[in-house]
Structure 1
Amino acid sequence: MNIEKLTQGGFSIGVELPLDNDWSASGDANRKRDGRPFGVPDMQHHAELIKQADDLGFRAVWVRDVPLYDPDFGDAAQIFETFTYLGYLASHTQNILLGTAAVVLPLRNPWLVRKAAATVQTLSNQRLLLGVASGDRPSEYPVFGVDFHSRGERFRQAVEVLRGEQDNKLASGMRVLPDAPQPPLLVAGLAQQNPAWVGDNMQGWLAYPGAPEDHVKRVGLWRDVAGDKPYISFIHLDLVDNPDAPIRRHRFGVSTGVKGLIQELESMKAAGVDHIGLHFRRNQRPLDETFEQIGKSVLPLFHT
């Protein structure tokens, strides 16, 4: 149900958390004023902003899984633990899908991931999209007592648990509660697997950000192994005041006016992308103002 909702109308737009513009000039000044390390966002307005995104009709919200803040990587994502936070977001929203991009399976007990996912599914009225990954931060693995180089095998084993393929290990009468439909499994990258395995076992792909022309080839590779399963990516957006401002590309995204954003999203759709999550940490303007403009001028053009 929720994977069909994600792609309803052929293309949709969501938001990626944290809902803070701490990578902008003003946001960085606020960070330094507050004494926060680089990459640690200000989360004090997240509840109002996620309600606004839900009310405006953004299709999905995406949260990342960063178990440990590492200053060498310089990004704490949205700070809060993924599943706990999704439960909070579920209580503050009604319609927006709740996606993980993505849970690092080798660092988690897969049975507890399954229970956490079932809990979010139940409490959110089945709005969870379970993005999973093998992880890419070597510094985390020794802390968890996990071998970094075996993470691909641990990932496959965890997927088997999530899909119920290891339930024969449960004693008679044992089960994972709450009972809930299994959420769609989406993979970030290839998770140390071959493309054919990913296409067979995953219900969607969370692809690295890029320009529309970057996605054309990637979408083609995905279609070869996965057919019409959703292809999802992200744009780091700085939406400027001038609606006619041309597209200027920066790492992972664009700075542009509302007309340029529409053009970029049309190009993403033409490249075969099914969903774009907008990331606002570079955005210079206040996020509530930016959300309102996108909700009134952009979403109606793409969401049916």
Structure 2
Amino acid sequence: MENPRQHPAFEVVFKPGNLSFGFVLPLTCAGQTRPDPLAQLDFARLADRLGFTALWVRDVPLNSPDYPDPVEHLDPWVHLGAVAVATERITLITGAIVSPLRHFIHTAKGAASVDHISRGRFLLGLGSGDRPGEFRSFGQELSGAAEQFRENWQRISKLLDNDGRLDPSGATADANAQIRPRLLHGSIPMLAVGSAGQTIGWIARNACAWATYYRPLARQRDRYAIWRAAVEKADPAKSPAFASSLRLQLEDNAHAPTQQLDLGLRTGRNGLIEELLALREMGAQHIMFNLTGDERPAEEVMQELALDVIPRFR
């Protein structure tokens, strides 16, 4: 099997010294809780045509008034299958599959299926989940999520690294059973999304990349420095591949001042470019935009990013 970090889709998203850009789906306006699935496919096609690098899809099994995010999310595997067919070049990433709530064989099967449908454009992001009520609905407790995450990570990794074969050491495993279809590039890179209850050292030893949420620049620099040191300790030859989400309200005035939002920024494109240049200098390799606000259509913001922001980073 090839080194997952040499996977073509991984190398497009994570290049040392380069900053690439993607979007978190669904793209919604403020107050919109029921996004149109067909409109989301149009957004995906537009992002692909405009040359963005990645589309990220979340795993939200249940909605509840107790949860902070009221938006309805499609099942991630169904959503990714549709997006894979609707697009041609853009990389597809789970951000993230709630691994403890899914059987590891189902997760590996879903990953192999999207890999096949997308012709090798898929990266597998795994998280641990953080909603106690959701875990109880699945007959589990959040207190066991971190350990279950580690166990499932190793099982999924072995399954994707063993020609789709189950671990023969399993007491009831069928030694002749395989997950099909076969992976197009012999591997699927696995990303840790959030800390998942793990140490940074564990993530550095096991994940191809780490994706985390937005923090103000000074705090993000400190966090990245810890990550870089952990990666250098785990494998000095390994690049500290790092991605961050960024909630973005992009104003139509390019000179609008920058204001901090929860997990992001409200700013004009000049302020955004300044922030992104600093993130690239820090060492970040990918930014996933989470577009919010209802003052501008998402298509308009995507066009401005593609025409006036992204070219500064090529």
TM-score, structure 1 as length reference: 0.90
Q: Which of 198, 202, 210 is 1:205 aligned to?
A: 210
**Cα deviation code 1:9-60 (max 9, x no counterpart):** 6211111111122x2xxxx3xx4xxxxxxx4445452121111111001111
Q: Which of 285, 289, 293 is 1:274 aligned to?
A: 285
* AA at the equivalent of 2:187: Q
C-alpha displacement of 1:215: 1.2
Q: Distance in 2 between matches of 1:129 and 1:253?
A: 24
Q: State whether structure 2 residue 244 is matched by structure 1 residue 233.
A: yes
Change (3 A) 1:104 1:94: same
Q: Which of 14, 28, 33 is 1:7 aligned to?
A: 14
Q: Distance in 1 between matches of 2:100 and 2:230?
A: 24
The 5 A counterparts of 1:63-78 are 63-77=57-71
| Identity over aligned pairs, percent | 33
C-alpha displacement of 1:296: 0.8
- Contact 2:108–2:156 (Cα < 8 Å) also in 1: yes
Instruction: Specify the alignment match of 2:263 in structure 1.
Output: 252
* AA at the equivalent of 1:6: V
Q: Distance in 2 between matches of 1:49 and 1:90?
A: 13
Runs of 4+ in 1 over 4 A off after TM superposition: none
Name the SS for the 2:22 alignment partner. Answer: strand
Instruction: Specify the alignment match of 2:48 in structure 1.
Output: 54
- Contact 1:63–1:102 (Cα < 8 Å) also in 2: yes
Query: Structure 1 stretches of 5 or more lacking a match?
Result: 32-38
- Contact 2:132–2:141 (Cα < 8 Å) also in 1: no
Q: State whether structure 2 residue 190 is matched by structure 1 residue 185.
A: yes
Instruction: Specify the alignment match of 1:124 in structure 2.
Output: 118
Name the SS for the 1:167 alignment partner. Answer: coil
Instruction: Specify the alignment match of 1:262 in structure 2.
Output: 273
Q: State whether structure 2 residue 304 is matched by structure 1 residue 301.
A: no
Instruction: Specify the alignment match of 1:167 in structure 2.
Output: 167
Q: Which of 61, 67, 80 is 2:74 aligned to?
A: 80
Cα RMSD, aligned residues only: 1.7
Q: Distance in 2 between matches of 1:102 and 1:241?
A: 31
Q: Which of 212, 221, 229 is 2:226 aligned to?
A: 221
Aligned residues: 289
TM-score, structure 2 as length reference: 0.87
* AA at the equivalent of 1:173: N
**Cα deviation code 1:219-277 (max 9, x no counterpart):** 11111112423111011111111111121111111111111111111111122211101
Instruction: Specify the alignment match of 1:35 in structure 2.
Output: none
- Contact 2:21–2:287 (Cα < 8 Å) also in 1: yes
Q: Distance in 2 between matches of 1:238 and 1:17?
A: 15
